[in-house]
Structure 1
């Protein structure tokens, strides 16, 4: 029989018993299963009549489909890392920046917050230039948000040991993004609202969930999730998805919970698996947004007894699908880069006799290679490598700065690169 949410199972099995007894018996059977993965997290679940309970612990059964998807997820991650290992650093950096542009755009778009991809890319570049200045980020909108993601990109993990760590990350992630009346109204998280108003999460027709109402309960819930996050007894992939659900179920802040929850999932997957997967979380969710919302509605339903089996299965399907897209894109770009390098080498062979004696073929090859990587792996031409970056990179490889400048002028005179910006100067390769 197909694995069903308990709210549906009790009607699918018709043996004359009370549906509530059928559901209770099946719940106990699932919870007593030898393979069950049971947690000590107790989410606040909502019944159809809007009454609530927190007496059920989160659990799931590692169905064959889930095990297959988890294996696929890990295999995809290894494949992505293998492809990346065959790419030059600039290509990897530009591709990660492209993923980050989409990640920031889509995590905001899911919440109805409008942003511009080119503006996001510009902030990414500004932050890169400020990377050597500790604590500095672009003063433009989302500068602080993007810096948090970039720290993950550079391999800096986040540590959450106390409740204050959640608030510290939240304040940085959403700096400048929240109206005054949407700031946390408690000591760390949100607290009771004025006039007895209750925070609700609704669909277009009804209330689907009401998270804990006061900060004391929120702190209890978030303390338990810290303990769970730092418990190594459950495989990291499942733990990440369960934590994502529990964070959203608790809804600890007045605003920005979705963005915070997706950031936490993104940075966790980046540190445990690969950055390409981690920087595709919001992109993947956005592509399956209706299914994502449906998964939460089902998981928040008290009639399903905190069974996250199908929630985990669905999110694994969403994430592995995006991984496969990333693999296909990386393979395609890798092939295009190989073709570009061959084209560059052929052009150098055919024209080397006309090169100025002060410019070596190796310098010209390296300069054109940077421009090729930038063109193929950047989100947009304007977000590609700038001349001063090429000059710095070539200097690190032993080429004088003045020679790189003359190389760029020479290649522009040859018509195989063109000037696309003046402040700062930026060229784009036209040979490929």
Structure 2
């Protein structure tokens, strides 16, 4: 029998609808979560109370395997990158992810702002703190510790988004909000968060317990937890950004950080699918069945991974051309010069076309002395490969046609 949404079967099965619900909740492939939600219909919370559950259907199992295989492929492709571009490539993904997360929440930002915030992390006292917390948290996504108590959610909020919250949305509870909050798509109310801080704390406690429940497969568990966090909605603002980062932190340990960091980017490409999957769970006739939600979010995750894989494969083809270019006879007597130019070209491919590097950057990446780097860069400037764009500190950029010439050779 085809696995269909209970809300559809209600009209098909009539009297046997309740039997189908029980069969799903008690079957061999069923998982009960112990997490409870109230029903939601036509903009209002109902009196129905449901335990969230899911069934490990064929489609869900296939997606689970697909995500794991994609993750292995991402790791394999990353291992083929030159060590000096790995960090830069991850930074590119961070900027894409943060921008997508902000766009989903209607927070105005540009990639330029986010890149500047990323560079501010290296300074002891950042001049502009906007988005610095966001970029810091994304940068260390694989080092975020598991959430062992309710206070951990507030700590993440303080580190990640508290500086970006409008004064009207300032928290008024001991740890979380005390008042009413709803999600509105512009036409109708699609969700109403839990009604008091006491209920928020109780529900987050249940979420912490569920996150450590090893009887549930990890990938499913983390996505269930993501939904339940959004259902609780512990803050007036910032729930989406913190929620996606929480699931990303768990995915980064289970898969790897490159797959984990693409989740918001993938969601942003198909927001309607994501929000629809969230909203359908609480519809009373679906009885808390999360199976279709899990299918949707794993499809989004897999799509995000596919984008990273495609990008890496294309970049590695470019890398082969770069390596072939520097094997030409013209570089036989210019080893240091070819190393410096290779660094700049590779970073333009894997991070950002037109990327700039200071003399100090080149010394650190190449592990060569100031004298050697200076001499090599003077040669590259004289030959028209790079240009000096700043004298203090001395900073270089590839000349406009250089990258195109090398990749097309």
Deviating more after overlay: 107-116 vs 417-426: 417-426
Map Cα deviations across residues 345-384 of structure 1 (whole Å, 9 max, x no partner): 21xx22545x5xxxxx1x22321221121110113424x5
**Residue aligning to 1:139:** 128
1: CA distance between counterparts of 2:34 and 2:316?
Answer: 45
Map Cα deviations across residues 140-198 of structure 1 (whole Å, 9 max, x no partner): 3101111111112xx4232311111110110110032001220221111111x3xxxx4
**Residue aligning to 2:242:** 260
Deviating more after overlay: 408-417 vs 278-287: 408-417
Contact 2:182 2:189 in 1 (8 A): yes
Contact 1:145 1:175 in 2 (8 A): no
Is the counterpart of residue 331 in structure 1 residue 343 in structure 2? no
Contact 2:36 2:50 in 1 (8 A): yes
2: CA distance between counterparts of 1:230 and 1:422?
Answer: 54
Structure 2 unaligned segments of length 5 or more: list them: none
> CA 1:286–1:351 in 2, change beyond 3 Å: closer, same or farther?
closer
**Residue aligning to 2:139:** 150
Report the CA distance between 1:416 and its aligned residue.
1.8
**Residue aligning to 2:114:** 120
**Residue aligning to 2:8:** 8
**Residue aligning to 2:273:** 291
**Residue aligning to 1:392:** 364
**Residue aligning to 2:379:** 410
Report the CA distance between 1:338 and its aligned residue.
1.5
The equivalences for 1:38-53 within 5 A come to 38-48=32-42, 50-53=44-47
**Residue aligning to 2:28:** 34
The equivalences for 1:81-230 within 5 A come to 81-127=75-121, 129-130=122-123, 139-152=128-141, 155-191=142-178, 193=179, 198-230=180-212
2: CA distance between counterparts of 1:138 and 1:265?
Answer: 30
How many residue pairs were aligned?
401
**Residue aligning to 1:358:** none
SS at match of 2:50: coil
Contact 1:123 1:138 in 2 (8 A): no
Contact 1:47 1:303 in 2 (8 A): no
TM-score under structure 1 length normalisation: 0.88
Name the structure with the higher strand share: 2
Map Cα deviations across residues 207-232 of structure 1 (whole Å, 9 max, x no partner): 33222110111111000000111222
> CA 1:164–1:336 in 2, change beyond 3 Å: closer, same or farther?
same
Contact 1:137 1:144 in 2 (8 A): no
Structure 1 unaligned segments of length 5 or more: list them: 356-360
SS at match of 1:39: strand
Give the counterpart of 1:428 among 383, 392, 398: 398
2: CA distance between counterparts of 1:370 and 1:270?
Answer: 28
